[in-house]
C-alpha cells in the first residue's frame, strides 16, 4: 500500500445517537417519513431532500445518481428531471426504481422501492415556473446525459438563452418534468452500536401497509 494512502479497512464509527422501536413508529409510513425528514431539516442536515436514485437499463446494468425530492404525499415521492436524460430513458424501459436518503447527522437512512410514473404536465409546468430563472434557463440549455464538446459550449448556450429570454419569461420545456415514485416498500434504518442497527420496514399488501422489524 502506498505510504500516503489511508487504510480504509480500519475506518468505522459506532452509531449511538438514537434507537428505533417499532411500537414508536407511525402506522403510516408517509407520516413516519415526514417526521424523520422534518428532524433531518431541523438538524441542519446538508441537502436533507437529496436522495440517491437507482435505475436499470435494458442490459440490466444499474446506475445511481442524486436527485432532490420536491414533493411527497400518500401517493408517492416526486422529483424532476429532463425526460431525455439517462435516468428518464431507463425509467421508460423499467419503471421500478430504488431510492435512498442518508442523513448522516442523525445516523439514519430511508430506503424506498417503488414504481415510477410521470406526473401531469400541469403539475410540472407549475413547479417549473416556481424555479429561479437561472434554473429555468439551465433546463433549456442542458441536453442532459448527451456528449458535449466542452464546458464553453454549455456556457455559450446559456448566454444565448439568457439573451433570448431577456424579458424574464421562460416557457415551459416539454422535454422536462416530474416523476412520481409510488412506493411498495419503505425501510427506516437507524444506526446502532456494534452494527446492531434498527430496521423497520413497511410493505404494501393489498392496499394496506404492514410493519415489521428486519435483522440488521
Cα 33 to Cα 100: distance, rounded to the nearest angstrom: 12
Distance between CA atoms of residues 199 and 209, nearest Å: 16
Q: Which residues of 184-206 are buried (b: 16+ CB within 10 A; e: fewer)?
A: eebbbbbbbeeeebbbbbbbbee
Q: How far apart are CA 142 and CA 85, in angstroms?
A: 10
Q: Which of 65, 192, 195, 211 is catalytic?
A: 195
- Is 65 labeled as catalytic in the residue annotation? no
State whether residue 206 is helix, strand or coil: coil
Determine the Cα angle at 11 with ends 9 and 12, to 5°: 115
CB 129 within 8 A of CB 172: yes
CA dist list (Å): 181 to 15, 18, 178, 196: 30, 28, 10, 30
**Which of the residues are catalytic?**
195
Amino acid at each position: 500500500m502506498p505510504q500516503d494512502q489511508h487504510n480504509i479497512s480500519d475506518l468505522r464509527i459506532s452509531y449511538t445517537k438514537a434507537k428505533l422501536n417499532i411500537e414508536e413508529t407511525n402506522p403510516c409510513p408517509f407520516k413516519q417519513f415526514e417526521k424523520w425528514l422534518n428532524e433531518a431539516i431541523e438538524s441542519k442536515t446538508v441537502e436533507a431532500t437529496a436522495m440517491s436514485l437507482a435505475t436499470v437499463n435494458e442490459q440490466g446494468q444499474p446506475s445511481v445518481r442524486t436527485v432532490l425530492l420536491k414533493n411527497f404525499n400518500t401517493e408517492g415521492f416526486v422529483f424532476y428531471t429532463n425526460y431525455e436524460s439517462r435516468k428518464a430513458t431507463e425509467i421508460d424501459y423499467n419503471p421500478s426504481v430504488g431510492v435512498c436518503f442518508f442523513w448522516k447527522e442523525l445516523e439514519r437512512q430511508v430506503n424506498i422501492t417503488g414504481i415510477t410514473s410521470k406526473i401531469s404536465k400541469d403539475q410540472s409546468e407549475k413547479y417549473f415556473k416556481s424555479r429561479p430563472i437561472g434554473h429555468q434557463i439551465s433546463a433549456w440549455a442542458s441536453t442532459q446525459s448527451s456528449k458535449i464538446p466542452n464546458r464553453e459550449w454549455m456556457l455559450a448556450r446559456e448566454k444565448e438563452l439568457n439573451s433570448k429570454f431577456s424579458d424574464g419569461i421562460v416557457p415551459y420545456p416539454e422535454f422536462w418534468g416530474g416523476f412520481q415514485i409510488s412506493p411498495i416498500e419503505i425501510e427506516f434504518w437507524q444506526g446502532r452500536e456494534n452494527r446492531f442497527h434498527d430496521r423497520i420496514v413497511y410493505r404494501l399488501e393489498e392496499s394496506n401497509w404492514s410493519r415489521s422489524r428486519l435483522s440488521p
